[in-house]
Each structure stands twice: as structure tokens, then as C-alpha cells.
A and B are shown apart, each in its own frame.
Chain A
Amino acid sequence: MFEIFTVDFMQNALIAGTIVSLISGIIGSLIVVNRMVFLAGGIAHTSYGGIGFAIFFGLPIFLGASIFAIVASVLMAFLTLKYKERVDTFIGLIWATGMAIGVILIDLTPGYNVDLMSYLFGSILVVETADIYTMLGVLAIILTVVIFGYRNILAVSYDSQYAHIRGLNVGLFYTLILVTSSIGIVMTMKVVGLILVIAMLTIPVFIAEKISSSLIGMMIYSGLISTFFTIIGLMVSYNYNLTTGATIILVSVVGMILFLVMQKSFKILKEEILLK
């Protein structure tokens, strides 16, 4: 069972999984409290266009995906601030357009036999050392933004109207939140893929929300819970030869159900003790 800690590619997977779990815990919290889950889905799918773009022009995949994700998030921040009521429509639009661009560009790339599955369901087992450095870099950027911008990010997320009258540049910080999230989304996709990225971003946050009373607490708990699920998921998928991303998500879902059941039983137990 524990031999995975000694197998070479599994060591890389464990390190990458941990870093990405911390990333997804932090930005997942930001995404959930800002009610941007659907938007996050849109950005993830748009970045598929970036993958096609990178393959067509022979660029690094991460670069292509990040460029598309960042451009999409700046655009969406602008549209959200300007036309609040129409946001859903715009998200649907970038979602489909990004995907379509990706598919067409890959079609147009001569002789490219792309392993679509690895983008849809993640490819954590093939991370290289260079990928790990990229992930560390992204984690560092996200931590910097969150630590130094904490009070402003908190103010804009909780009550943007009040933040505005306190003289804060709401548009700037909203864009910063979205752009930071978008890079994190691209990283998270590396582990669980496009299809499952939303689950990885929201399930740990769902649990963390119930046990934390501040945003920073939520980020820390989500990161730790997510790391826990990822490691368990990796171990299970290695031992039973299952698709890693999907296994991580199923482990998370089971974890969430266990948590809810435990929470409920504690409540009942407490009430019974109080009654006696």
C-alpha cells in the first residue's frame, strides 16, 4: 500500500498533488465565497482553447492554457462589472467558444494524435520536475496575492458596495481575484482534468465552510482537506489501477458524505446528552 512513496513517478505525483491541492483550496474558497463557480467552469473550458492554441503553434501547453484563462478572466471581470445581469450569457458564450477553438485548432494541427483523455481527466501521473516548479511558482503567486491583499480581497468579496465607499478600487481587486483564480484553475486541471475541476475546487471548500468562521480559515482548511483527499485518491488509484483524477474526486465525495453523517450524528448525540 505505502510503496507508492518510493516509486519515482508516484513521488512526483504526490508532490504535485499536494501543491495543487493547496492551490485549489485557496482559490476554491475565493471562487465559492464570490459565487463564481459557474464562471470558474467557463474559464476552465475557455482554457481548452488555449491548449489547442499551444499545440497548433508548438508552445508549452501550460502557457497556452494560462494565456487563454487570463484573457478570459479579464474579459469576464470587465463584463461582470459592467453588465451584472447578463453575466450568465457571457459565461455560456466563452465556455463554448473556448472549447470550439480548442477542438478546431487540434483538428488543424497536422499529424497530432492528441490524448484528449489526459486533458479531460487530468494527467498527474506524468508530471515532470519542471511542472512541479511551475506549480510551486503559481502557489507562490497565489499566496502573495492572498496574504498581501487579504483585507482588500475580503472587503470586495463580502461587500463590494461598502468597499467602494471606503475608496477601494473594486474593479481592480475583482479582476485580481479572477485572474489569480484562473491560473489556479489551469493548475488544478493538470491533476483532475477539465471535467472534474469544479468538483476539486468546491468539495473541500464545502466541508471547510462548515468548520471555519473566517475566509483565511476556510482557505487553510480547504487546502489541508484537499491534500488529504488527493493523497488518499492517489494511493487508491495506484493500488487498483484506476484513473487518478476520477478516483480523487470519488474519494472527496465519499469524504464529504462521511463528514456530513458524522456532523449529523454528533448533533444528535449532543442533543441527547443535553436532554438528560
Chain B
Amino acid sequence: MSKKILEIDNLTFNYDGANVLENINLSLNEKDFLAIIGPNGGGKSTLLKLILDILQTKNGKITINGQNPTQQLSHIGYVPQNTNINTSFPIKVIEVVLMGHISDKKPIFGYSDTEKACALGALSQVGIEEFANAKIGSLSGGQRQRVMIARALCNHPALLLLDEPTASIDVNGQKQIYELLKELNKHMTIVVVSHDISVTLNYANKVAYINKFLTLHSNISRFSTTPQNGHFCEVELMQMFRGKNV
């Protein structure tokens, strides 16, 4: 019996207006791989931000490892949906990745050799170690997305949240990143928001469809592994979910 890592109870949220999320219940075990799908504006990013304590709500409860999210932040890795923030900022790729570090023994100034080695390791895992000393703004969108993934890996999180991490990554790169996630999944829980259902389904063991409400499907292996005619597209999948009264 595996341990529970994330528990969401009766969560409702709004940004000063109509509810964006309503009555969300979700429970993830260690080493789960959850794919989140749903239409634009469905509330996927909002849910991740609530888990990360970037947004707060009084309605409902989120616990990570049995504690408040604030106390567990150091065990979470996050790849935001928008990786184009501040692209003119004078910062090197390696420095962005080093932001992911939290070590209780920070050196008085600068970064320790262990931290640097770890950051370089994370960059090579996502295949862009040769850009370590480049300015972040000189990278392409896809390369920058890889930097953000490396940053999220940097602190060896127990729970890794990725918000459309491969949206602007080429086909080979996507496969490479999902293979990496599969490898990481051996010792961490992964949540990916993605519209690339065909890819995601080969890796996830749970799928959640979010459009204000959340519908969860565990045990998706029966339709994920046998793409008989081509691959699944999101529309078909959503229809399947709708059939099951969303």
C-alpha cells in the first residue's frame, strides 16, 4: 500500500467572481503519475497554483504529506506555464537553475560547488548543458522551457508539478522529456498538465479532466497502450469523459 502524498478535499476557488474551481477532490499516492487535461480556462493552472500556495482559498483543504502546502514547499518542484517572463533580464541559464536550490547550508555568498554541479546535472538531464553560461534571453522558447524543467528538478522534489512543460518543445525533445519524467517517476510523484494526450497517456497512471469540476480516471492503461488507429486526441478523450457524466 503506497503512501498518500497529496490530498485535496472539497476545494472551491474564485478570483473575485464566479467559481473557477468547484468541489475538487483529489488524492495522489507516492509515485503516481497524473495527467491533467481540460479546455483553456478550465482551471488547470489555477489548481496547480493553489497546491503551491501561490493562491489561497478558504473553501476546502489541501494537504501535502499530511501538512499545509506552506510547510511542504521545499518538497515540490514546479514548471510554470509561462516561461517567457523577464526574458530581457541579465541572468545566465545556470543562475536560473540555481534558483531551484534550497539548501539549509547556504554558503555566505555565491553558490556552493555541490549546488553548481547539481544544477549542471539537471541541465544535462534536459539536454542543454552547453547553454549553461548563456544569457536566458538568448535561448529559444523551447530551450527556455527546458531550463525551467531543470530548475524544478534541482531540489530533488517528492512532488513535481508541470504546467504544459512541452508546449513549445520539438517532437524529439518531447519524447526525451517524457522519458526523463518516466525515469523520475520511479522515485517521485508527477503531475503534468498537457494537451498532448497521445504522449501523456503512455506515461500516466491517472488522468484528471478539469473544467471547473474535476473528474478522475485511475487505471487508464486499458485505453492508453493500444492506440489502434493512430493516437488519441484530446477531443475524443474529453468525449469519453463527458459520457461518464462530467
Chain A residues at the B interface, C-beta cutoff of 8 Å: 33, 147-148, 150-151, 154-155, 157-159, 161-167, 209, 212-215, 217-218
Residue from A33, A161, A209 within 8 A of B80 (CB atoms):
A161
Nearest-Cβ distance from residue A58 to partner chain B, whole angstroms: 41
Cβ contacts under 8 Å, A167 to chain B: 73-74, 102
Cβ contacts under 8 Å, A155 to chain B: 99
Does the CB pair A151–B110 fall under 8 Å? yes
Q: Identify the closest chain A residue to B93 (Cβ).
A: A213
Task: Name the prevailing secondary structure of the A interface residues.
Answer: helix
Q: Identify the closest chain A residue to B53 (Cβ).
A: A165
B86 within 8 A of A: yes
Cβ contacts under 8 Å, B89 to chain A: 33, 157-158, 215
Nearest-Cβ distance from residue A263 to partner chain B, whole angstroms: 16
**Distance between Cα atoms of A33 and B98 in the complex (Å):** 19
| Most chain A beta carbons < 10 A, residue from B90, B100, B108 | B90
Cβ contacts under 8 Å, B80 to chain A: 161-162
Q: Identify the closest chain B residue to A219 (Cβ).
A: B90
B135 within 8 A of A: yes
Which 7 A-B pairs have CB atoms at the shortest separation, nearest pair first? A213-B135, A218-B90, A155-B99, A165-B52, A167-B73, A158-B89, A166-B102
Task: Name the prevailing secondary structure of the B interface residues.
Answer: loop
Does the CB pair A214–B92 fall under 8 Å? yes
Per-residue 0/1 for B76-107: is the Cβ within 8 Å of any A Cβ (1 yes, 0 no)? 10101000011001111001101111100010
B109 within 8 A of A: yes
Cβ contacts under 8 Å, A147 to chain B: 109
**Distance between Cα atoms of A151 and B102 in the complex (Å):** 11
Nearest-Cβ distance from residue A240 to partner chain B, whole angstroms: 36
**Distance between Cα atoms of A6 and B134 in the complex (Å):** 45
Cβ contacts under 8 Å, B106 to chain A: 151
Nearest-Cβ distance from residue A177 to partner chain B, whole angstroms: 14
B54 within 8 A of A: yes
Starting from the known contacts A151-B111, A213-B134, 5 additional A-B residue pairs (CB-CB under 8 Å) come to A154-B91, A154-B95, A165-B52, A166-B155, A214-B95
Nearest-Cβ distance from residue A151 to partner chain B, whole angstroms: 7
Nearest-Cβ distance from residue A155 to partner chain B, whole angstroms: 5
